[in-house]
Homo-oligomer: A and B are copies of this chain.
Amino acid sequence: MTQPFLDTFAPLAERPDTPLYRQLYERVQAAIAAGTLSPGDRMPSARALAKELGVARGTIELAYSLLTSEGYLLARGQAGTVVNPQLQLQALATPSAPPPSDARPGDETPDVLWRPSQLLPFQMGVSALDAFPRKIWARLGARYLRGMRPADMDYPPPHGLPSLRSAIASYLQVSRGIDCGAHQVFITSGWRSSLAFVAHALLSPGGRAWVEDPGYPLTRQILRQFGLEPVPVRVDAQGIDVQHGIAQAGDAQLAVVTPAHQSPLSMALSLPRRQALLDWAATHDAWVVEDDYDGEYRYASRPLPALASLDRHGRVFYAGTFSKVLFPSIRLGYLVVPQAQVATFERVGRALFAAATPTMTQAIVADFIAEGHFARHIQRMRRLYGERRAETIAALERGLEGRLRVEPSPGGMHLVLRLPGERSDRPLADRLLADGIAVQALSRWSASAQPDSALLLSFTNCTSPAQAQRLGELIRQAL
């Protein structure tokens, strides 16, 4: 190692605004840009550097994997990690990021949307990957590939594979009480493209849209991308407060809601509120998008019918995703469109949102549903998640030794752990992330100036009660 190398790997300082892994990440980037680290240079091993800097090995690994995923470093297995030999130094030496003033509204990436490049414990929004029926999936996939004909290789039908649209319509009828035909089901690549589809087809730039507060940050970003102004509407024990929404923005074009389990607080939208929301939409010619990201996962009782099943005026778009009930890397979702809007969505979809999902994915999922694997998988996951949830809560509370209690909730895929003190969740979440634990700070999901403070943590991948207990201990020590 040459002398300047030492700067790069000088001790890291505890700074509340920048977690340790990110400090290291930035230093390595800077060293490469400055030429201190050259393409082909070998990096110290994570173990050695962790010891050297006195931080957790997970911190180093997180920084390395981030740098690797972005092409700065190259992992060479046994041969260790090196600076990517393909990096073009001259180009790198010029400043690569535009000044912040270039950023356009809606472009900001809140930390909450940042994801580590590997799956970390308690990470939100990821199904139980260990429990997915991979053998069945591989069998259906191999069968599809063996039987693939030229017609399967042409452009996919613009609104989705007919067999998949039919399978989803039948499933929704039975499991979510939605009375729809296959022609109302439009295949998308997930929530992002479903919401963008509605925004593009029906909404005018400059309009306003209710979003739940706290609520999913990506939703606000997508709306801004389409020139819409998200109006935060508070939620309480009954879900979104419709009267508050009307007072804030009665003339909004749209309300985006999570009726099954409010995202992220997990309460269900009460029946009176559902009715009030539908009444507002019908009388104001407003639209409602129901984001039913995990409606199947309810442990206290049967899943509730979807809001769309109560819609008598054709105002509700129902958005579903396979990210949560199958697995996230599948990139497949759908939008159920009220009958009177089908022609508009066919037109817009054909022009602008057509056929973004590979036929192979659509065909395998259609078979998975039609042959009954889907319904069985959801049943099994409902049971498994109920167990993992109970175990995680028990272990976490053991570690917490009574200092805090997990908030009771009827369903969903994550837990809410309230903390004392406004915004106290952020430094704690950052510190835990540096230790390789991916909990999220509730205050980052909030638009309010005085947000509640809580940690959000998923239990679906938590297979080790010891890990949950350890997390409880870390939180207790930090309080």
Contact = CB atoms under 8 A, between A and B. Distances in A.
A421 interface: no
Contacts of A182: 71, 84, 86
Contacts of A310: none
Interface string A418-447: 000000000000000000000000000000
Given A142-B141, A153-B327, A88 B179 contact: yes
A436 B440 CA distance: 56
Q: How many copies altogether?
A: 2
Interface stretch (A124-132, A245-253, A391-399, A400-408): A124-132
B181 A153 contact: no
A125 B97 CA distance: 37
Given A119-B151, A154-B327, 19 more contacts: A68-B162, A70-B346, A71-B183, A84-B181, A91-B314, A92-B339, A94-B340, A109-B347, A118-B151, A119-B154, A126-B155, A138-B148, A141-B141, A153-B327, A155-B323, A156-B331, A190-B356, A221-B352, A330-B360
A117 interface: yes
Interface in A311-348: 314, 323, 327-332, 338-344, 346-348
Contact of A200 (B91, B165, B183, B225): B225
Nearest to A185: B71
A95 B179 CA distance: 19
Contact of A340 (B91, B151, B314, B330): B91
Nearest to A89: B339
Contacts of A204: 104
Interface residues of A, number: 98
Contacts of A109: 347, 350-351
Contacts of A86: 169, 181-182
B359 A157 contact: no
Interface of A: 68-72, 84, 86-88, 91-92, 94-98, 102-104, 107-109, 113-115, 117-119, 125-127, 129-130, 132, 134, 137-138, 141-142, 145-146, 148, 150-159, 162, 165, 169, 179, 181-184, 189-190, 192-193, 200, 204, 221-222, 225, 314, 323, 327-332, 338-344, 346-348, 350-352, 354-361
Contact of A358 (B102, B103, B129, B329): B329
A165 B221 contact: no
A404 to B, nearest CB: 29
Contact of A88 (B107, B132, B190, B339): B339
Given A91-B314, A155-B126, A361-B358, A84 B183 contact: yes
